[in-house]
Amino acid sequence: MTPTASLRESILQHLRYSFGKDPEHAILEDWRMALSYAVRDRITDAWIAATGKTYDSGAKRVYYLSMEFLIGRLLEDGIVNLELVEEAKAVLEEFGKDYGTVLSDEPDAALGNGGLGRLAACFLESLSTIGCPAHGYGIRYEHGLFRQSFVDGRQVEQPELWLEQRHAWEFERPEVRYRIGFGGHVDKRGETVRWYPGEVVEAEAFDTPVVGWKGRWANTLRLWSGRAIHPFDLDRFNHGDFAGAAQPEALARTISRVLYPDDTTEQGKELRLKQEYFLTAAALRDILRRFNNQFGDLRKLPSKVAIQLNDTHPAIAGPELIRVLHDERGLSFEESMEIARGCLSYTNHTLLPEALETWDEALFGRLLPRHIELIDQIDSTHAKQNPSRLNSMRADHQVKMGQLSFVMAHHVNGVSALHTELMKTTVFEELHGLHPDRIVNETNGVTPRRWLLGCNPRLAGLITESIGEDWVDDLEQLTKLEPFIEDTAWLDRYAQVKRDNKSELSNWMAQAHGLHVDPEMLFDVQIKRLHEYKRQHLNILETIAHWAEIRDNPNADWTPRLKLFGGKAAPGYFFAKDIIRLINDAAAVINADPVTAPYLKIAFLPNYNVSLAERMIPAADLSEQISTAGKEASGTGNMKFALNGAPTVGTLDGANVEIREHVGAENFFLFGMTAEEVMERRKIEGHAWKAVQADPRLKRALDLIRDGRFSPGEPDRYHGITGNLEGADYFLVCSDFTDYWRAQREVDTAFKDTRAWAKMAALNTARSGWFSSDRTIRGYMHDIWGAESLL
């Protein structure tokens, strides 16, 4: 049977026997599900084979613990990795179904906020492509990140209901359940210590196979769902208390109900700490069960188990592992601590002080009474081993999760070269001095299967036609494109790909959002979470200043530009929400201006998520990576853009530094202060006001906002923003404005030379191969985990 015939057979079988439909009566969702099941069957074969090989080899396994996995849709990923794109299109076409429409029917699994969760998803895919035996452990949130819409320009949040539509990818594992306790008391009898929790919920496993390139390997993403041990209180029911009867179940399920939508501020909420312990304790129980079945001798744990903590969120893994080894299995405290540290490593994701996780010790002690004792014991043991230690994990009645993670990890890594160096001189200065070999760098990456092959088939096709397909899992082969770039006929084809992608996005924007734009414009894109440090307000200020400039001189030779925005603000982050509203308000006024319409348009697309990123990035001409230097740990959006041929306008921040080194300074629009200059600039009194006085364009843009030009009838709507910018301006928007403006005008000039621009874009593609998450994962395997590929 041909692959197409076999896929057809399999789809029709599932339509009939899994969903009870024939092709005549199947609705879109049935087709999507039948195709998903047909693909899933093939993935499952690879998965079971990989699991068998892992057991047989006795190899070390990697466990990636993360509160977030921003996986997005999985059907296209499966089809692409199994190389079934043409077959799937052909079969669907036979039945009069459109491939893109069927794929778009899948809900976007938004089990993460942004970069951190997306990184975890890229890592899982790379681990499978490489054939490194691994599990991802996370929480099966019923509601992922909220759905965003705009009402009068303002962000409105609605709950995300991804599980309401049928979800094709998970296998429920009712036999894998663990009891997870909270609260209660600690009982000490001589040497024996026991924790008796006051409240117990059950964690149930749901497994999703994650397939790698060509289906050579598949690993497991195991997500935990909360449930009650006794879901139903019959006694209460019989007494007529129907709501009360269902209460135990409702309470237990709360734990996996929602993802916290704050990505850069720590809220210190009890439920959040419960979620963190729930994930970590269930994962460790599962890891130890698997280890016991296969090996038994706990002293061997570090040679068979590598546990990576994605940020401090699962930092409780240190004390929890010690608790199990010491309290429950009877090993000495010191030995337990050594074994735990031998298994654990920790990735730091931010230096923002407001994002460093700390817990109120009273709350912590109430919820995890044994763990807080163990943390003190870890702290004092560490202090004894390092007599010069000044700081502690406990200060100001807080438990400091960063310090705990560092002490309990054999390696600590930053996510870009700059970030790793800054870690050594800021948050972890003292600990780095005590343990100078512990901090290593693993610059982030993105998976080329999703972020080039899947989302940009035109470009992927041109690349494969030019250099063969080996680039897909060996991305640095893209440098082989460089000789082609010298050929104008080839370069014209490269440029045509971008034009086609822009037309496709324009058509989609017209159809989905009623936005009509000219695809010939420069597509200037800033898509990422809304945050002051990411400086979407710098972008809109420049846009407003540019608008005013065009109005002064409408007949000049302006480069037509479309400013595209996307991104969600945390529901309680009012400043960020005001920035969204300002962008939408400015868009309403500027888009309606007939004088500037040929040269400038603004669109803020709602509900930015993985699927929207996949649509927008292949169509971008320019990538906005304009954070205040020193604040963006790495960024991964920046890599997706460069790979898809959008040069960056950006600061020397995070991985931008390394992107610029790789693609070449002449193919990158650099502006702004360095991290060092930022720290110096902040010391200058009235720095913002001085910057405003020095730049009439900036002053005019701020005046337009302050005078209500974009908020007619309510001139003070944005006084919070203008006051902040002219006053404290902690993120140095004003100080960087003038140089940002200069860089943008350089972009305007460069874009006019179509061939030179195409060359710059193509060189970005050719030289971004290093930013594959395959390279990142190989780095972790070698430098941190001591794990090997089984392929």
Catalytic residue positions? 349, 528-529, 534, 636, 640
Closer residue to ligand PLP (CB): 38 or 617 = 617
CA 690 to chain centre: 37
How many CB atoms within 10 Å of residue 398? 15
The CB-of-534 to ligand PLP minimum distance in angstroms stands at 7
631 binds ligand PLP (CB under 6 A): no
114 binds ligand PLP (CB under 6 A): yes
> Which whole-number Å values give the CA distances from 329 to 181, 332, 373, in the listed order?
18, 9, 18
The CB-of-751 to ligand PLP minimum distance in angstroms stands at 22
Binding residues among 566-625 for ligand PLP as defined by CB under 6 A: 609-610, 613
Closer residue to ligand PLP (CB): 216 or 640 = 640
The CB-of-184 to ligand PLP minimum distance in angstroms stands at 39
Using only C-alpha atoms, what is the Rg of the chain? Answer: 27
The CB-of-665 to ligand PLP minimum distance in angstroms stands at 21
The CB-of-142 to ligand PLP minimum distance in angstroms stands at 20
Tell me the backbone φ, ψ of residue 202, rounded to 5 degrees.
Answer: -110, 140
3-state secondary structure of 238: helix
Contact 560, 599 (CB under 8 A): yes
The 134-173 contact track toward ligand PLP, x by CB under 6 A, reads ----------------------------------------
3-state secondary structure of 12: helix
Task: Give 259's contacts (C-beta < 8 A, 6+ positions apart).
Answer: 68, 110, 111, 112, 113, 139, 141, 143, 144, 145
The CB-of-643 to ligand PLP minimum distance in angstroms stands at 11
Give dist(CA 717, CA 708) in Å, integer: 7
Q: Which of 73, 118, 313, 717 binds ligand PLP (CB under 6 A)?
A: 118
635 binds ligand PLP (CB under 6 A): yes
Binding residues among 41-100 for ligand PLP as defined by CB under 6 A: none
305 binds ligand PLP (CB under 6 A): no
Nearest Cα to 578, choosing from 534, 607, 517, 537?
537
> Which whole-number Å values give the CA distances from 44 to 37, 47, 427, in the listed order?
10, 5, 44
The CB-of-403 to ligand PLP minimum distance in angstroms stands at 26
Closer residue to ligand PLP (CB): 203 or 629 = 629
Q: What is the dihedral of CA 408, 413, 419, 425, to 10 degrees?
A: 40
Q: Which of 212, 637, 672, 769 binds ligand PLP (CB under 6 A)?
A: 637
Task: Give 264's contacts (C-beta < 8 A, 6+ positions apart).
Answer: 350, 352, 354, 355, 529, 531, 533, 570
E strands, 106-265, in order: 109-111, 134-139, 147-151, 154-158, 171-182, 185-189, 192-196, 199-211, 218-227
Contact 68, 221 (CB under 8 A): no
Q: Which stretch in 78-86, 150-158, 281-289, 634-642 sits in contact with ligand PLP by CB under 6 A?
A: 634-642
Tell me the backbone φ, ψ of residue 313, rounded to 5 degrees.
Answer: -55, -40
The CB-of-453 to ligand PLP minimum distance in angstroms stands at 16
The CB-of-735 to ligand PLP minimum distance in angstroms stands at 22
Amino acid identity, position 139: I
Number of residues that bind ligand PLP (CB under 6 A): 11
Nearest Cα to 113, choosing from 51, 80, 150, 160?
160
Amino acid identity, position 159: P
The CB-of-340 to ligand PLP minimum distance in angstroms stands at 31
Q: Which of 403, 543, 636, 722 binds ligand PLP (CB under 6 A)?
A: 636
Closer residue to ligand PLP (CB): 110 or 478 = 110
The CB-of-566 to ligand PLP minimum distance in angstroms stands at 9
Closer residue to ligand PLP (CB): 117 or 133 = 117
> What is the helix (H) or strand (E) element at residue 305, kind and residue range?
strand 305-310
Closer residue to ligand PLP (CB): 313 or 326 = 313
Give dist(CA 780, CA 791) in Å, integer: 17
The 497-536 contact track toward ligand PLP, x by CB under 6 A, reads -------------------------------x--------
Closer residue to ligand PLP (CB): 402 or 637 = 637
The CB-of-508 to ligand PLP minimum distance in angstroms stands at 17
Closer residue to ligand PLP (CB): 42 or 313 = 313
Give dist(CA 615, CA 700) in Å, integer: 35
Q: Which of 78, 115, 131, 606 binds ligand PLP (CB under 6 A)?
A: 115
Q: How many helices (H) and strands (E) does the chain have?
A: 34, 24
Closer residue to ligand PLP (CB): 114 or 445 = 114
Half-sphere exposure of 267 (CA within 13 A, CB side): 14
Q: Which stretch in 472-480, 484-492, 584-592, 630-638 sits in contact with ligand PLP by CB under 6 A?
A: 630-638
The CB-of-493 to ligand PLP minimum distance in angstroms stands at 27
Closer residue to ligand PLP (CB): 111 or 331 = 111
The residue at minimum Cβ distance from ligand PLP is: 637
Give dist(CA 155, CA 118) in Å, integer: 23
Binding residues among 457-476 for ligand PLP as defined by CB under 6 A: none
711 binds ligand PLP (CB under 6 A): no
Closer residue to ligand PLP (CB): 374 or 633 = 633
Give dist(CA 231, CA 251) in Å, integer: 10
Q: Which stretch in 114-122, 306-314, 420-428, 582-590 sits in contact with ligand PLP by CB under 6 A?
A: 114-122
Amino acid identity, position 280: T
Token readout for 27 is 């609705």
Closer residue to ligand PLP (CB): 21 or 528 = 528
Q: Which stretch in 33-41, 233-241, 362-370, 631-639 sits in contact with ligand PLP by CB under 6 A?
A: 631-639
Closer residue to ligand PLP (CB): 347 or 636 = 636
Ramachandran class of 226: left when φ > 0, alpha when ψ lies in -120 to 50, beta otherwise:
beta
Q: Which stretch in 49-57, 110-118, 253-261, 270-278 sits in contact with ligand PLP by CB under 6 A?
A: 110-118
Q: What is the dihedral of CA 778, 784, 788, 791, to 10 degrees?
A: -30
> Which whole-number Å values give the CA distances from 565 to 165, 255, 456, 520, 620, in the listed order?
28, 33, 20, 18, 11
The residue written with tokens 């888009």 in the block is 591
CA 630 to chain centre: 19
Q: Which residues bind ligand PLP (CB under 6 A)?
A: 114-115, 118, 528, 609-610, 613, 635-637, 640
